[in-house]
């Protein structure tokens, strides 16, 4: 549906996004994860057609989008910012803003407003103004007003950053309900991998404005020491990660979850990284194509390993079970 | 100090008696100020919004030019327009020299930079998320501008007040372009200058009081309008 090709985006000459290709297919459930400053918000603003890339092209259904996209095209995609702002007026007026802009008839506008307000638990807040709402409520109103305009692509930047667990659950349920009624693509930028795994079909990682070549878990920004040896040790939290590279200085390390061996005790092996800890979470790994289980363990830092459901059962993996994560120094990607 | 007290007594008497000349001058001043402010803000506010929100080649130079024009001496504007509007000038055919329309043109040129520069600053002060939010919810150019203007309403009201203040208190261009003709182009400021020079302090103070009353009335009205606009 919407794609970026050869995009290099700069602010004041500084390259903040460098993507050869990024696409949000129709009906996709896509999560973009990465550190703060990785370029997620910029990516969403380009996809929302709010900014034109400094270099490269935005395509919609294969056709290039001009620097001044026509309003009919802009109305097919809606962005909810990380810290959304409510416009002057009541919650009701905010939800109806996009409908008014489109000239939606009064009865239809009333129906849609009631629908999204109910889905997001906003019925009791409709007459309130922005200064009478909490950050979490503002975020829900922002999602509601975006859902009300029924976009083909909904872009959400950290939509649960101000929400508690219950509100976060309500938001994802509302999205699921809306998608059940009418298919549309959703692209969420998040740093919460758990949400991304539970919810998205496809997860992509951004680091330093580029798509990470591996799945997004286990990304660490580190400083690699100078030296000529082929194996270096990078300090990550309270642990050292051995990595085979000739790079030095600031880099991002990625440990592919499928390259981590999970065992209940230390095994003699060639792995240079052997880290003991306890399981903190077990979740289905949707983006691994079904059947995968994401095992998160605290081994000094949080690491995620992906194993088969069968292996998880045999090892009786569950929260608080002691485990050992092992991986080779050469398995660690550096970029 | 006696002349001041005498002036106030004379002013009160003129105001209470509804002196036709005084009220005529005040009404003409109000007419010129309202027309000039409307025209200046009608052009200046959209121009300010454009300068604040669009990125184009020469934008910085345009902003600098508008800001520089804020300090343009009123007599110079009067002089240039005098040259343009005089019988042999390129706009002489309009026959506007020494008419209230000529004063309006001069006042518009003086208030326009105020409206443009201050409204650009007001719009730049609005959280950029407001504009992005309106756009991403499908607002067109006008609804987006209106949404941003609603957020900047207090600052924009101050811009209109400042433009009106410039126009109503202006004397240099009014004197040169209007000629201070009794019953035709005599405004409160030119009349105050004339009657002061003639030693008629009572009339000058009365007209000065009118100016102050108009300024207070405009400010109170704008404040009341602002007060009605909640969040």
Give residue A119's region: left, alpha or beta (phi > 0; psi -120 to 50): alpha
Of A78, A79, A88, the CB nearest to B150: A88
Q: What CATH number did the domain enclosing B140 receive?
A: 1.10.3720.10
Concatenate the DSSP letters of all residues of B49-89 into one string. Answer: HHHHH---TTHHHHHHHHHHHTT--HHHHHHHHHHHHSTTS
Burial of A192 (0-12, 13-18, 19+ CB in 10 A): middle
Q: State the Cα–Cα distance between residues A270 and A292, nearest whole angstrom.
A: 25
- The ipTM assigned to this model is 0.78
CB-CB contact of A307 with A295 (8 Å): yes
* CA closest to A129 among chain B residues: B231
Phi, psi of A264 (to 5 degrees): -90, -10
Asked if the Cβ–Cβ distance from A88 to B133 is below 8 Å, we say no
Asked if the model's pLDDT at residue A287 lies above 70, the reply is no
Q: Read off the tokens for A310.
A: 């069968």
Chain A positions in Cβ-Cβ contact with residue B56 (cut-off 8 Å): none
Phi, psi of A231 (to 5 degrees): -110, 130
Asked if the Cβ–Cβ distance from B147 to A98 is below 8 Å, we say no
The full set of domains in chain A, from first to last, is: 2-211 (3.40.50.300), 219-334 (2.40.50.100)
Asked if the Cβ–Cβ distance from B129 to A85 is below 8 Å, we say yes
Query: What local confidence, expressed as pLDDT, does residue A216 receive?
Result: 62
pTM above 0.90, yes or no: no
Q: Range of B170's domain?
A: 2-228
- Supply angle C-alpha A190, A194, A200, rounded to 5: 70
Q: For an interface test with B, which of A98, A133, A156 has the most B Cβ atoms less than 10 Å from its Cβ? A: A98
Burial of B92 (0-12, 13-18, 19+ CB in 10 A): middle
Q: With a CB-CB cutoff of 8 Å, which residues 129-158 of chain B face chain A?
A: 129-130, 132-140, 143, 147, 150-151
From first to last of its 231 residues, chain B has per-residue pLDDT tens of 676 787 788 878 887 888 888 889 999 999 999 999 999 999 999 999 999 998 889 999 999 999 888 888 888 888 999 999 998 889 988 989 999 999 999 999 999 999 999 999 999 999 999 999 999 999 999 999 999 999 999 899 999 999 999 999 999 889 999 989 998 999 999 999 999 999 888 888 888 888 888 888 888 887 787 666 556
Q: Read off the tokens for A72.
A: 């009919």
Q: For an interface test with A, which of B55, B126, B136, B142 has the most A Cβ atoms less than 10 Å from its Cβ? A: B136
* CA closest to A154 among chain B residues: B136
Total domains in the fold of chain B: 1
* CA closest to A49 among chain B residues: B136
**B216 lies within 8 A of chain A by CB:** no
**B230 lies within 8 A of chain A by CB:** yes
Task: Choose from A100-114, A226-240, A253-267, A276-290 the range with maximum mean pLDDT.
Answer: A100-114
The pLDDT of A146-156, averaged and rounded, is: 96
Q: How does DSSP classify residue B38?
A: H
């Amino acid at each position: 549906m919407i794609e970026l090709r050869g995009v290099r985006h700069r602010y004041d000459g500084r390259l903040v996004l460098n993507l050869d290709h990024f696409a949000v297919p129709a009906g996709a459930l896509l999560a973009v994860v990465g550190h703060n400053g990785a370029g997620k918000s910029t990516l969403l603003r380009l996809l929302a057609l709010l900014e034109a890339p400094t270099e490269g092209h935005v395509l919609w259904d294969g056709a290039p989008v001009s620097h001044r996209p026509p309003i009919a095209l802009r109305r097919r995609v809606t962005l909810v910012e990380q810290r959304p702002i409510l416009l002057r007026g009541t919650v009701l007026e905010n939800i109806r803003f996009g409908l008014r802009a489109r000239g939606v008839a009064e009865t239809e506008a009333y129906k849609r407003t009631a629908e999204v307000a109910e889905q997001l638990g906003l019925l009791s807040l409709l007459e309130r103004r922005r200064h009478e709402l909490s950050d979490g409520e503002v975020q829900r109103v922002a999602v509601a007003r975006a859902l009300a305009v029924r976009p083909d692509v909904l872009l959400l930047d950290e939509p649960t950053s101000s929400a508690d667990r219950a509100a976060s659950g309500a938001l994802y349920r509302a999205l699921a309900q809306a998608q059940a009624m009418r298919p549309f693509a959703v692209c969420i930028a998040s740093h919460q991998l758990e949400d991304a795994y539970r919810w998205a079909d496809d997860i992509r990682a951004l680091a330093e404005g580029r798509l990470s070549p591996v799945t997004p878990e286990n990304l660490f920004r580190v400083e690699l020491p100078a030296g000529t040896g082929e194996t270096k040790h990078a300090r990550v939290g309270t642990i050292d990660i051995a990595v085979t590279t000739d790079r030095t200085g600031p880099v991002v390390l990625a440990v592919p979850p499928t390259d981590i061996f999970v065992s209940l005790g230390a095994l003699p092996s060639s792995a240079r990284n052997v880290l003991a800890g306890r399981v903190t979470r077990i979740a289905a790994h949707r983006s691994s194509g079904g059947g995968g289980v994401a095992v998160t363990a605290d081994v000094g830092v949080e690491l995620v390993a992906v194993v088969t459901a069968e292996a998880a059962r045999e090892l009786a993996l569950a929260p608080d079970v002691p485990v050992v994560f092992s991986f080779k120094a050469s398995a660690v990607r550096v970029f | 100090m006696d002349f001041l007290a005498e002036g106030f007594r004379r002013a009160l008497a003129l105001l209470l008696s509804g002196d036709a000349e005084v009220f005529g001058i005040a009404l003409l001043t109000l007419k010129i100020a309202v027309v000039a402010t409307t025209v200046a803000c009608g052009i200046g506010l959209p121009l300010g919004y454009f300068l604040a929100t669009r990125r184009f080649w020469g934008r910085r130079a345009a902003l600098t030019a508008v800001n520089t024009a804020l300090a343009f001496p009123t007599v110079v504007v009067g002089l240039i327009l005098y040259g343009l509007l005089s019988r042999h000038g390129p706009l002489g055919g309009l026959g506007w020299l020494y008419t209230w329309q000529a004063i309006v043109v001069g006042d518009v040129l003086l208030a326009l930079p105020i409206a443009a520069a201050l409204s650009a600053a007001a719009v730049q002060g609005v959280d950029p998320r407001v504009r992005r939010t309106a756009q991403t919810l499908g607002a067109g150019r006008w609804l987006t501008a209106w949404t941003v203007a609603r957020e900047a309403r207090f600052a924009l009201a101050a811009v209109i007040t400042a433009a009106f203040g410039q126009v109503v208190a202006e004397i240099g261009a009014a004197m040169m372009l209007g000629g201070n003709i009794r019953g035709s182009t005599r405004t409160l400021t030119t009349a105050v200058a004339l009657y002061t020079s003639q030693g008629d302090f009572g009339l000058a103070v009365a007209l000065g009081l009118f100016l102050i009353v108009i300024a207070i009335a405009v400010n109170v009205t704008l404040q009341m309008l602002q007060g009605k606009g909640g969040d």
